[in-house]
A and B are shown apart, each in its own frame.
Chain A
Amino acid sequence: MRLPVTAWASITHRATGVFLFAGIALMLWALDGSLADPAGFNALEETLAHPLLKLVIWAVVSALIYHALAGIKHLVMDMGFGETMAAGILGVRVVWALAAVLIVFAGIWIW
């Protein structure tokens, strides 16, 4: 599909939102285990150390990072800033660049 970058940014914002809705189950499951008792906390730490689960957590954290940044851009535009096409494209590039950096940092932190 030939769409402007702003459209792709919007679609990604929606897709990450739907993905995060499923990711909440993982977060609640982890919160539940971590607060149960010391054994549960340690068991969770061991489970989360599995490479496949680390990948899933990175995916959820990455989606959260992008969704939050795209959301902040939305709020900025709601206040009337950057509503022209040129500014909109610049906004998307800023969000993508910041998201990329933060996602890499998140990956380093997880591994």
Chain B
Amino acid sequence: MVTSVTSLGRSGLYDWFVQRASALILLAYFLFLGWTLVAGVDYASWKALFSQTWMRVFSLLALVSLCAHAWVGLWTVFTDYLTERMLGSAGGIVRLLAEAISALVIFTYLVWGIQILWGL
């Protein structure tokens, strides 16, 4: 089996599953957040919500899902369009650069998100 060192799980089937599992978690999280915001919040109720352990767990779960989801999604887009066929001989290095920048941004989102959730 040919595997790619930059895919999330070195396996298309694994990435396929991660993309869908993370999608369901993100859907549930954004539906809940949307519902909460439309219902209306003030500082006290908003802060109280994010002080609950279950909300922090749910939020961290969504954040980790987002990181995995974004990596699989961006990897799919990059390996389709940032290629030697599309860009000529520079394709490989452009793709690697795009992947490196994305990984850095994803890691920053993760650390930033944890910092916000736990108010460090």
Point out residues on A near B: beta carbons under 8 Å: 14, 17-18, 21, 24-25, 28, 31-32, 34-35, 37-38, 41-42, 64, 68, 71-72, 74-75, 78, 109
CB distance A14 to B77 under 8 Å? Answer: yes
CB distance B30 to A68 under 8 Å? Answer: yes
CB distance A35 to B27 under 8 Å? Answer: no
Q: Secondary structure of the A side of the interface?
A: helix
Contacts A17-B73, A18-B77 given; does A28 touch B43 at CB 8 Å: no
Closest to B43 in A: A41
For the complex, give the distance between the alpha carbons of A19 and B77 in Å: 12
CB distance A21 to B74 under 8 Å? Answer: yes
Contact residues in B for A78 (Cβ distance below 8 Å): 20
Apart from the given pairs A17-B77, A18-B77, A41-B46, 20 other A-B contacts in the complex at a CB distance below 8 Å: A17-B70, A17-B73, A18-B73, A21-B70, A24-B66, A24-B70, A25-B109, A28-B109, A32-B112, A34-B43, A35-B47, A35-B116, A37-B43, A38-B43, A68-B27, A68-B30, A71-B27, A72-B27, A75-B23, A75-B24
For the complex, give the distance between the alpha carbons of A31 and B20 in Å: 25
Minimum CB–CB distance for A71 against chain B, Å: 5
Minimum CB–CB distance for B18 against chain A, Å: 14
Contact residues in B for A41 (Cβ distance below 8 Å): 42-43, 46
Pair count A-B, CB < 8 A: 51
Contact residues in A for B76 (Cβ distance below 8 Å): 14
Minimum CB–CB distance for A111 against chain B, Å: 14
CB distance A75 to B20 under 8 Å? Answer: yes
CB distance B23 to A71 under 8 Å? Answer: yes
Within 8 A of A (CB), among B85-115: 102, 105, 109, 112-113
CB distance B119 to A35 under 8 Å? Answer: yes
CB distance A24 to B109 under 8 Å? Answer: yes
For the complex, give the distance between the alpha carbons of A72 and B24 in Å: 9
